[in-house]
Structure 1
């Protein structure tokens, strides 16, 4: 009978540390996804239609990422968190909303969250590859960081004002 142990060339203690980071990332992604949904549902103002569509496109990107991060956790031999309580406990993002329902207020909150996630991932890339011998996860989260950088750029560009 074949063993069902996760024997992929990474020590269990290293996989456990990587998964700890991935659980936070999964939680951050889920909280951000919820914030984009909130923005999509509740945005108001002269730019309602374009921002309603924009927020929907962006939460679609996060929806795919959430699934991929959870599956990466499973690939490493652990279980993914799956409740709002767990996500709130593990996330570094605040459960905060905008001061009003205009697009600018939503985008400011979302941009702050993207910046937080980008910094967290950037700090984690080297640690995953070097300290934990998991180049696969380092590569995986690099792509996620690049997605967040692109999403943050869209928000920054939308928030830019000219005087």
Structure 2
């Protein structure tokens, strides 16, 4: 059944395509953060192991919220690893040591990429595609990523 929510079918299609890219980015970032949690080594193992767990738990919530936003505007969320890898702006893996600094730099770069992607979509989603709800959703999600990036960045000082 077609969603009759005051947004044209064409606009909902464009917005859902952007959200699908964001969902892919979130899923890849989640996986990379889990990798950090599982594979961290070094004298700060325990504190970073717990820190990365807090981070991936937040991203897990983001994944669900983005997928549900796609459904709310009448589309299906991509839900395969193949789709995620085709849609993401992030690299799946980078060579580095399994120490906290290596993981933190990698994850920080990914959060910043996600923040820039979200920021670039907030106004077009609202103004060009008449979807204030998704624009507001994106603004809140961007702010959460900004906080996570700040926490990562603070470890590098």
**TM-score normalised according to structure 2 size:** 0.98
In structure 1, what is the Cα distance between the partners aligned to 2:52 and 2:108? Answer: 12
Q: How many correspondences in the alignment?
A: 157
Report which stretch shifted further, 151-160 or 91-100: 91-100
Structure 1 contact 125–142 (Cα < 8 Å) conserved: yes
Question: Compared with structure 1, are the counterparts of its residues 65 and 122 closer, same or farther at alpha carbon in structure 2 (3 Å cutoff)?
Answer: same
Structure 2 residues not aligned, in runs of 5+? none
- Which residue does 1:41 correspond to in 2? 38
Deviation digits for residues 107-148 of structure 1 (CA, Å, limit 9, x no counterpart): 000000011000000010000000000000000011110011
Residue 95 of structure 1: how far off its partner (Å)? 1.0
- Which residue does 1:107 correspond to in 2? 104
In structure 2, what is the Cα distance between the partners aligned to 1:77 and 1:149? Answer: 28
Structure 1 residues not aligned, in runs of 5+? none
- Which residue does 1:144 correspond to in 2? 141
SS at 1:159 equivalent: coil
In structure 2, what is the Cα distance between the partners aligned to 1:9 and 1:27? Answer: 26
Given candidates 4, 7, 12, the residue that maps to 2:4 is 7
Residue 98 of structure 1: how far off its partner (Å)? 4.4
SS at 1:79 equivalent: coil
Given candidates 88, 93, 98, the residue that maps to 1:91 is 88
In structure 1, what is the Cα distance between the partners aligned to 2:123 and 2:95? Answer: 34
Is 1:154 equivalent to 2:154 in the alignment?
no
Tell me which stretches of 4 or more aligned residues in structure 1 moved more than 4 Å: none
**What's the Cα RMSD here?**
0.7
Deviation digits for residues 71-112 of structure 1 (CA, Å, limit 9, x no counterpart): 110111111000111000000001123411000000000000
